[in-house]
Amino acid sequence: MTDVLLESQPDLLMDLDRREQGDVRTEEMLVNMGPQHPSTHGVLRVVLRTDGEMVLEAIPHIGYLHRCAEKIGENLQPFQYIPYTDRMDYLAGMNNNQAFALAVEKLAGIVVPPRGQILRVIFAELNRIASHLVSFGTYGLDMGAFTPFLYAFRERERILDLFEAACGARLTYSYITVGGVHNDIPEGWTDVCSEFLDYFEPKIPEYNNLLSYNHIFVKRTGRVGVISAEDAVRWGLSGPCLRGSGVRFDLRKTMPYDGYETYEFDVPIAQPGGTGSIPRGVCIGDCWSRYYVRVLEMAQSVRIIRQAISRLTEGPSIAEKVQGKKLPADETYVEVENPRGLLGFYVRGDGSAIPSRVKARGPSFCNLSITTHVARDCLLADVPAIIGSIDVVMGEVDR
């Protein structure tokens, strides 16, 4: 009876034949990853075109957090706009404050006092460490490791305590402002900061033993999402995403600001051939390299902060007569090295105290653009690894 049934349905017979030979036909399916998926690091929606467990294409959809941040900058005086820059990359508020303040200062000809510059460097580097700690902890979480998340946030809390002591806030600071910093640090603050650095620096090798060299973590991130140096440059990547592909480019070295040219520090990149500390199974430009560059950068930030504390001079921390200062009918563009990469602000004045045009160039927006190119013909489980290694903050992508 079965033979008669199969003979009457030749297509079914052919299909069974294919299955016996291992040639199984599958149907493509669209999978929505987000906008509330825990591995998308915010309200990011990624539409995945899948064939079984294989991802054929990944298309990011943005705009769920758009707040007209740039247009608001054209309706406020620069010192009033500083709090809005905090909300762009809310994990690196100090660095965002610094970028916009530098642009306005260049346009208006405002000179920051030496103490103000040094304090800016201290807080920008502390915020770089805090931002990389979030990236380190959440990336481990994406890969199924819960413990690193607890370690990272334990250290980050101590940095936030330092921020709170200086400006009263723990997430959106508005501390670095036009002309310097909003207020001076309290007495004894540098001693507490030095104690934290002494405590934190030995933790970095612990992070490596806990996560960086973990065999499962290396297998999940090594040789996954490889971005060549040429592709990284072509797609406009910056920060750890660019240096993870072996390109040594850091604005603090190439176009220094706020006195960075006077500090001694290295720019970590993914090295050709690796070293003894580089585990097997990884290559330049993969997810592991982008992750590891951030770990190395935390150690360099500690070096910079120690130098800044040692040269902290007496004097004012902010320039005089900044509020209400007229902006000349001119334009300027200034870039800084945000924890995620190149953050730039374009500001144009028209002779009044309010800018006529404000435009931001965000690193996360440009870094995210390579997702479709790199998340192709990979496993479904590799997509969180790839997106997590890019380390996007959606407030800065959408603005």
Give tens-digit pLDDT for 244-302.
Answer: 999 999 999 999 999 999 999 999 998 765 444 677 888 899 999 999 999 999 999 99
> Quick check: 16 pLDDT over 90?
no
* Confidence band of 25 (pLDDT split at 50, 70, 90): low
CB atoms < 10 A from the CB of 207, how many?
20
Has this prediction a pTM greater than 0.85? yes
Going by C-alpha positions, the residue among 239, 37, 49, 47 that lies closest to residue 138 is 37
CB under 8 Å to 331, separation ≥6 — which residues?
107, 346, 347, 348, 349, 357
List, for residues 77-89, the tens digit of each pLDDT value: 999 999 999 999 9
How many whole angstroms separate alpha carbon 294 and alpha carbon 136? Answer: 8
Domain boundaries along the sequence of the chain: 71-374+382-398
Our CA dihedral for 199, 211, 153, 299, rounded to 10 degrees, sits at 40
pLDDT at position 210: 93
pLDDT at position 255: 95
State both tokens at 152: 């990272």
The percentage of residues in the chain with a pLDDT greater than 90, rounded to a whole number, is: 78
Superfamily of domain 71-374+382-398: Cytochrome-c3 Hydrogenase, chain B (1.10.645.10)
> Quick check: 325 pLDDT over 70?
yes
* Confidence band of 59 (pLDDT split at 50, 70, 90): very high
> Is-contact 69 87, C-beta < 8 A?
yes
How many whole angstroms separate alpha carbon 188 and alpha carbon 191? Answer: 5
* Confidence band of 34 (pLDDT split at 50, 70, 90): confident
How many whole angstroms separate alpha carbon 229 and alpha carbon 273? Answer: 15
pLDDT at position 22: 56
Place of tokens 């346009």: 107
List, for residues 206-221, the tens digit of each pLDDT value: 999 999 999 999 999 9
Place of tokens 């990884």: 282
* Confidence band of 331 (pLDDT split at 50, 70, 90): very high
> Quick check: 20 pLDDT over 70?
no
337 DSSP β-pair partners? 342
SS3 assignment for the chain: CHHHHHHCCHHHHHHHHHHHCCCCCCCCEEEEECCCCHHHCCCCEEEEEEECCEEEEEEEECCCCCCCHHHHCCCCCHHHHHHHHHCCCCCCHHHHHHHHHHHHHHHHCCCCCHHHHHHHHHHHHHHHHHHHHHHHHHHHHHCCCCHHHHHHHHHHHHHHHHHHHHHCCCCCCCCEECCEECCCCCCCHHHHHHHHHHHHCCHHHHHHHHHHCCHHHHHHHCCCCCCCHHHHHHCCCCCHHHHCCCCCCCHHHHCCCCCHHHCCCCCCCCCCCCCCCCCCCCCCCCHHHHHHHHHHHHHHHHHHHHHHHHCCCCCCCECCCCCCCCCCCCEEEEEEEECCEEEEEEEECCCCCCCCEEEEECHHHHHHCCHHHHCCCEECCHHHHHHHHHCCCHHHHHC
